[in-house]
Amino acid sequence: MEYNTEKINELAHSVAKLVEENLKAKAGSGEKQIADIEKEFREVLRQIGMKALGFYLSGLQKTPESEIRCRCGGQLHYQRLREANLISVFGKVVYERAYYAGCECQKGKAPLDEAYGLEPGKFTAGLSQLMALSGIAFSFEESEKWLSEFLLFEISENSIRSETEGLGLIQKQEDERAIENSQDEKVLQERLLHMPKNMPLRLYGSIDAAKVRIEPRAKRGEVVPEHESWRDMKVGCWYQAEPVSKMHQSKRQKAKAKRAGTVFRTTQHHYFCDICPSEQFGKLLWASGCKNWADLVPELVFVCDGAVWIWDLVTHYYSNAKQIVDWYHAEEHLKKLAEAVFASSDERRIWLDPVTEMLWQGQVEEVVLACESLESQHPHVQPTALYFANNAERMRYDQFRAQGYLIGSGTIESGCKQIVTQRLKRSGAQWTLDGAVQTAKARAVWLSGDWAALCKKRPTLPLAA
C-alpha cells in the first residue's frame, strides 16, 4: 500500500532528527557504525509503532451505547473507558475501549475486543505468527535469541513453544475434521459441486517415515520409563511434476538426463504427517487425498520405497493408482547385496553392473534369478530376491520412463528431512509426543504454502503472554 509521499517525508525528517539527538546525547558515543545507526532507527520506530498502534486501537472506539445485549440474552450497561494491553510486534501496547458489565450472569464485555479479535494481556496475531514461524525453524531456545535480535525485546522460550505447538494443535484439529468429513458420504457428494477447473491430469503421492526421540512422560499412576523411545513420524506428500528444460538444467540434472532422458522437478507440494499406527495414518492419507482431489484426478501415481505398510495403505485407499518403487531404493538393495557377498570391488562390479542394467530395463524376473544364483546360504540373498519378486510390477522402470512417470521419491525424502531431521532431530532435542506432532504439523503447513490460512484460525486457541 502506498502512502502520501509528502507526509512520509515529513515523518521521516522528524524520526531522523529524533535519532540524531538521541545519538548525540549518549555519553562517549563517538563515530557510529551504520549497524549501530540502523539499530537506533529500529528502536525508535518500534517505540513509535507501539504508541501509534495503541492510539489507533483507541481511535477505533465509537461513542459508547448506554446498553448492549449480553451473550446470555440479558443486558449489559456501559461502565467506563477501560484500559487494556496487548503484546504486539512492537512490544506492549496500551489502549482504551468501552467496557460493559452489570448483567445477571456477572460477565463483562468489551465489544471492540470482540470485533477485532483482541485478547487483553495476550499476544497479537501478528506477533503470534512470528513466534510460531521461528519455533518451526529453530529450536525454542534459539528462537528466543533470534526473536530478541529481530524484535528488540524479549519473548520467553516457553511462550514460543506454546504458540508453535498451539498452531500445530489447530492443524491437528483440522486433520481430525478432514478425516471425519472424508468418511461422510454427504460431504463427499457435495464436494463434487466444487471441483476445480484446473485439476491436474496427473497427481503424485509419496509416503515415508523418520524416527523422532520422544521423552518419557508417564501418565498419572504410571511409572516413568527409564529410557526415551524412538517413534516413527509418518510423512506424506501430494505433488505434481513438470519437465526441466535443457536450458534450466543444473550440471547434475544434465548428467542425469543423459541416462534418464527427461528430468523432472516437483511442484505444488502438500505435506501431512503424524505419529500414529499405520491404520490411523491411512485415514489421514485418505482425508488429505480428498482435499487434494487425489481420488478424482485422471491419473494418480505413488512413488515410495518398498515398505510393506506403505503399499498396504496405497492399495487399500487408492487401488487404481499406479505404484512405483523408488528407483534409488531398489538400486541400493542391489549394491548392498553385492557388498555383502563379494569381497573385492572387481567382483562386485562384474556382477552388479549388468544386474543393475536389467533392473533399469524393468527385467525384474532376471534380477531375481541373478540374486538367487548367488550363494543361497548367504543371509542377504533370499531377502533381497524376495524384495524384488514381491515388488516386480512396481519396478517396470522401462515402462514407467516411457510413460513419463517420475521413478524417484526424492520429494518425500526431502519432506522427511525438512519436517523431521532439520527441526525435530536437532542436537539434544527431546520431545513429548504432543509437542513433536504439533510442531511437525505446523512445519508441514509452512512447507505446503498454507501458513497464512492456518494463522487466520489462531483465535480459536488463545495464548496467555
**Average pLDDT score, the chain:** 91
Query: Of 460 and 254, which is predicted with more confidence?
Result: 254
Q: pLDDT category, 328, cuts 50, 70, 90?
A: very high
Q: Select from 61, 53, 105, 60 the least CA-distant residue to 80.
A: 61
**Percent of the chain with pLDDT strictly greater than 90:** 79
Question: Rounded mean pLDDT of 41-58?
Answer: 96
pTM confidence score: 0.89
Domain ranges of the chain: 1-23+34-122, 185-326+408-451, 329-397
Asked if residue 273 has pLDDT above 90, the reply is: yes
Which of 82-86, 233-237, 246-250, 443-447 shows the lowest per-residue confidence on average (mean pLDDT)?
246-250
Q: pLDDT category, 15, cuts 50, 70, 90?
A: very high
Asked if residue 27 has pLDDT above 70, the reply is: no
Query: In this structure, are residues 354 and 330 in contact, taking their beta carbons and an 8 Å threshold?
Result: no
Assigned fold of 185-326+408-451: Nucleotidyltransferase; domain 5 (3.30.420)
Residue 461 is predicted with a pLDDT of 43
Residue 404 is predicted with a pLDDT of 93
Asked if residue 28 has pLDDT above 80, the reply is: no
Residue 446 is predicted with a pLDDT of 97
Which of 53-57, 109-113, 313-317, 459-463 shows the lowest per-residue confidence on average (mean pLDDT)?
459-463
Q: Which residue, chain included where needed, has cell 549501530?
A: 36
Residue 29 is predicted with a pLDDT of 56
Q: Write out pLDDT tens, residues 279-316.
A: 999 999 999 999 999 999 999 999 999 899 999 999 99
Q: Write out pLDDT tens, residues 133-175.
A: 999 999 999 999 999 999 999 999 999 999 999 999 999 999 9
Asked if residue 463 has pLDDT above 70, the reply is: no
Asked if residue 216 has pLDDT above 80, the reply is: no
Residue 117 is predicted with a pLDDT of 86
Which residues, in sequence order, are bridge partners of residue 99?
80
